[in-house]
Amino acid sequence: MSLDAGQAGQGTPRKRADSVRNEQVLLAAAAAVFVGSGVDAPVREIAGRAGVGVGTIYRHFPTRADLIIAVYRHQVEACAEAGPALLANTESPHSALGQWVDLFVEFLVTKHGLAAALQNDRDGFDALHTYFVDRLVPVCAHLLQAAVAAGEIDADIGAYELLRGVGNLCAGEGKDPQYNADRLVKLLIRGLARPAPRRG
């Protein structure tokens, strides 16, 4: 096994600054391209958007699966961190929940691509899936809780249940032009809202 990584700060911080910067840029570019063109998007498109050469991509992510996995973890993390941030910056918790679910839906594109890319590696996929569940369910639960506390929604749905439902709504998205998952998800979230007290 190689302990070469230079984060423990033994004597020499190995990673060059431009390298770590490019890795971040690549993850962001790949995420955007996946959402726009699917996970089968050409490598050159990702490189172009990131403003780097294709060689750089292959240096950081030797296989397409490596790239997808990295984007996936990156997005799980970003999605998880966005939850509390949205809650803090948005007046209504229910609205924050809606915005957060939008992020979640975008991210599902990568997740579904991941499943296709890891057909061979059931174990690897399962590991990433439990990571995904463990990381995001609490965030969603937190948002739900806040909305309940604010009296905006009822407390009759669980976080896992909601995420699972949204995920299922997005299954097969993009295949059938008749089917628009986004719209259905929006409706679902709107349906969570407690009816406003009648005025009169």
Partner DNA sequence: TGGTAAAGGGAACGTCGCTCCGTTTGACTA
Partner DNA sequence: TAGTCAAACGGAGCGACGTTCCCTTTACCA
122 contact choice in DNA, its own copies, none (CB below 5 to 8 Å, kind-dependent): its own copies
Q: Nearer to DNA by C-beta: 59 or 73?
A: 59
Q: Site residues for DNA, window 71-130 (CB under 7 A)?
A: none
Beta bridge partners of 153: 193
Cα(192)–Cα(146) distance, rounded to whole angstroms?
Answer: 13
Shortest Cβ distance from residue 72 to its own copies (Å)?
20
Shortest Cβ distance from residue 44 to DNA (Å)?
5
Q: Do 130 and 189 meet the contact criterion of CB atoms below 8 Å apart?
A: no
With CB under 7 A, what is the number of residues at the site for DNA?
28
Q: Nearer to its own copies by C-beta: 27 or 65?
A: 65
Q: Nearer to its own copies by C-beta: 91 or 123?
A: 123
In three-state secondary structure terms, 193 is strand
Q: What count of other Cβ atoms lies within 10 Å of the Cβ of residue 93?
A: 22
The pair of three-digit structure tokens given for residue 5, joined into one six-digit string: 């990584």
Q: Nearer to its own copies by C-beta: 97 or 170?
A: 170
Q: Nearer to DNA by C-beta: 51 or 124?
A: 51
Q: Site residues for DNA, window 9-68 (CB under 7 A)?
A: 12-19, 22-23, 40-45, 51-56, 58-60, 62-64
Shortest Cβ distance from residue 164 to its own copies (Å)?
23
Shortest Cβ distance from residue 71 to its own copies (Å)?
22
Cα(174)–Cα(5) distance, rounded to whole angstroms?
Answer: 40
Q: Is residue 137 at the binding interface for DNA, with CB under 7 A as the rule?
A: no
DSSP 3-state percent helix, strand, coil across the chain (nearest 5): 70, 0, 30
Shortest Cβ distance from residue 33 to DNA (Å)?
11
Q: Nearer to DNA by C-beta: 49 or 60?
A: 60
The helix or strand, by DSSP H or E, that contains position 83, with its residue range, turns out to be helix 64-89
Q: How far apart are the first and last CA of the chain?
A: 73
CB-facing half-sphere around the CA of 75: CA atoms within 13 A: 29
What φ, ψ does residue 151 adopt, rounded to 5°? 75, 20
Residues in contact with DNA by the rule CB under 7 A: 12-19, 22-23, 40-45, 51-56, 58-60, 62-64
